[in-house]
Structure 1
Amino acid sequence: MTGDAASRLAAAENRIADLTRENERLRSCGALDGGVDGHTPLSIAVYETLLGGVSDSALIVTDPAGRIVAWNAAATTIFGWAAEEVVGQSANRIFLPEDRAADPLAREMATAIRDGRARDDRWLQRSDGSRFFARGELVPMRGRDGATTGFLKILRDRTEEERSRLELAASRERLQFALDASALIGTWDWVIPEDIIYADARFAALYGVDEAEAASGLPLSAYLHGIHADDRARVGELIRDTVAAGGVFESEYRTVRRDGAVRWVYARGRCFLSDAGRPVRFPGAVVDITHDKMRERRQDALLRLGDEGGFGEAIDYTLKALHLLGETLEITRVGYATVDPTETFATVIGEWTMPGLVPLAGRKRIADFGTRLADALRQGMTVVEDVRLDPITADGAAAWEAIGSLSMINLTVRENDRLQVILYLHHSAPRRWTADEIGFIREVLNRAWTYTRRRQAECSLIETEARLRLAHEAAEMGTFDYDLETGTMVCDARCRVVFGIGPDEPVGYPATFRPRIHPEDRDRVEATVRRTMASDGDPNFDLLLRTIGHEHGATRIVHASGRCVREDGKAVRIVCAVRDVTEAKEAEERQTLLTRELQHRVKNTLAMVNALANQTLRRASSAQEGLTAFSARLLALSHAHDILTQTSWTSAPIEAIVSQALATHGGEDERITWDGPDIRLTARQSLALALALHELATNAAKYGALSDDAGRVRIAWRVGPGEGCRSLWLEWREVDGPPVVAPERKGFGSRLIEQSLATEFAGEVTMTYHPAGLVCLIEADLQNDLDDSVLPSTLSDV
Structure 2
Amino acid sequence: MVPDTQEQTLLRQQTVLARFGEFALKSEDLDEILTEACRLVGEAMGTELAKVVELQPDGETLLVRAGIGWQPGVVGHCRLHLRDGTSEAYSIQAAGPVISTDITKERRFRLPAFLIDHGVKALVNVTILGASGSPPFGMLQVDSREPRQFTGGDVDFLRSYANLLASAVARLRMFEGIRRSEARLRASLDRQEAALETGVIGFFTWDLPSGTITADKRFARFYGLDPDALAGGMPLEAIMRHIHPEDRAAVEAGTAKALQSVDSYVKEFRLIHPDGAIRWVMVRGHCYAQAEGRPICYTGTAVDVTALKESEAALRRVNEALEARVADRTHALSEANARLQAEAAARERVQYALQQAHRMETVVAHLPIGAGLVAPSGRIIVGNPEFQRLLPRAGIPSTEPLARTEWLGWHPDGRMIAPEDFPGARALRGELALNIDFLHREVGQSGHWRRVSGIPIHGEANEVVAALIVIVDVHQEKLASERQALLTREVDHRAKNMLAVVQAALRLTRAPDTESFIRAIEGRVAALARAQTLLSADRWAGADLHRVLEGELAAFLGHEASGPQARLDGPRLVLPPGAAQPFSMAIHELATNAIKYGALSAPTGRLAITWSLDTGCDVLRLRWQETGGPRLEGPPRRLGFGSRVLAGTLRDQLGGRIAVEWKETGLVCDIEVALARLRQAAPI
Instruction: Give the TM-score band, short-chain normalised.
Output: 0.3 to 0.5
Q: Which has the higher contact order (CA 8 A, sep 6+)?
A: 2
Between structure 1 and structure 2, the one with the greater Rg is 1
Q: TM-score, normalised by structure 1?
A: 0.35
